[in-house]
Amino acid sequence: MSEPVIEVRDYRKTYGDVVAVHGISFNVMAGEIFGLLGPNGAGKTTTLEALEGLRSPDSGSLTVAGIDPVREPGKLRNLVGVQLQSAGLPESITPDEAMRFFCAYHGIVPRFDLLERLGLSDKRKAQFGELSTGQQRRLSLALAVAHNPRVLFLDEPTAGLDVATRVELHDLMRELQADGTTIVLATHDMAEAEEMSDRVAILLRGRIADMGSPLEITATGASLTKISVHTETASLAVPDLVLPAVDRRATVDEYDIFFSTDIGPTVSAIIARIESQEDTLIDLRVERPSLEDRFLEITQTGGVR
């Protein structure tokens, strides 16, 4: 992950009176999976579509692999893969025909193996309109990656997919990344963003509210870390026991649970207490705030860096 493949500088886009994106800047590095997150109407699609060359900016600049997607769309044809929305294909086309058509457009042999891989083997000759939503989405993914694009844009790729297909898609994304593909992933699925993204940008009302690796982002919030402890003689189960940096506590089954603002001092004090009471630790779990916790915090407080 050395040089930027996508560079966005002060990108601003309005629709009439609505300012959809207020002048945002970010880079996506080669080989990165970059998550674009945000609540409905935050400006994710407006940003993705500008990178795909479908919307021209009011001001600012965007480049993909050094190419301006609006001015020189032809140059991006074989470099970029875009997951089409289902409306992008005619109702009567079959997955086989669509694959042949897309691959001919890119000048490559049809990648029927991708249809097999994404679970469409028995639907290859069915009409697009007869496919389920999940099957249509799988087809659009197969078409987006067929030409091994250098940059792949995915908009809600796993929405409506069953668990097995979702896992298959994530495996496919990791393989593409290992081969050097840069992936921009717009998603509402925080667990997916946290699991898959190297970095994310959280958009809020057309501005970047936070940007960084999921670990960096979850580390900066006010959310508390949950520390659950189970010991042999329950030496922590003393209601008036005071531990440093503990905001509140609870007891669930045999576990004493401490919500900490700073895990270092809290965990050290827990261990010291267990030792001083000649108790024995059976289990200790530390659960950091998730990206979803942090996302909710940002969107609820409306904080923009």
- The single-letter code of the amino acid at 46 is T
Q: Which residue lies nearer to ligand ATP by CB, 184 or 227?
A: 184
**Of 184 and 269, which has the nearer Cβ to ligand ATP?**
184
For 58-102, give the DSSP string. Answer: SEEEEEETTB-TTT-HHHHTTTEEE---GGGS-TT--HHHHHHHH
With contact defined as beta carbons under 8 Å apart, do 175 and 152 qualify?
no
Residue 56 Cβ vs ligand ATP, minimum distance, rounded to whole Å: 13
User: 3-class secondary structure for 207-253?
Assistant: EEEEEECHHHHHHCCCCCEEEEEEECCCCCCCCCCCCCCEEEEEEEC
Q: At closest approach, how far in Å is the CB of 234 from ligand ATP?
A: 47
Structure tokens at 189: 């699925």
- Give 46 or 218: the residue with its C-beta nearer to ligand ATP: 46
Q: How far is the CB of 155 from ligand ATP (least distance, A)?
A: 8
Q: What is the largest CA-CA distance in the chain?
A: 74
C-alpha span between 184 and 200 (Å, rounded): 9
User: For ligand ATP, what does the binding mask look like between residues 7 and 46, x meaning CB under 6 A?
Assistant: --------x--x-x-----------------x-xxxxxxx
Q: x/- site string to ligand ATP, residues 46 to 65, per CB under 6 A?
A: x-------------------
227 touches ligand ATP (CB under 6 A): no
CB of 239 to ligand ATP, least distance (A): 45
Q: How far is the CB of 252 from ligand ATP (least distance, A)?
A: 35
Site for ligand ATP in 102-161 (CB under 6 A): none
Dihedral (Cα; 297, 298, 302, 305), 10-degree rounding: 140
Contact residues for ligand ATP, defined by CB under 6 A: 15, 18, 20, 38, 40-46
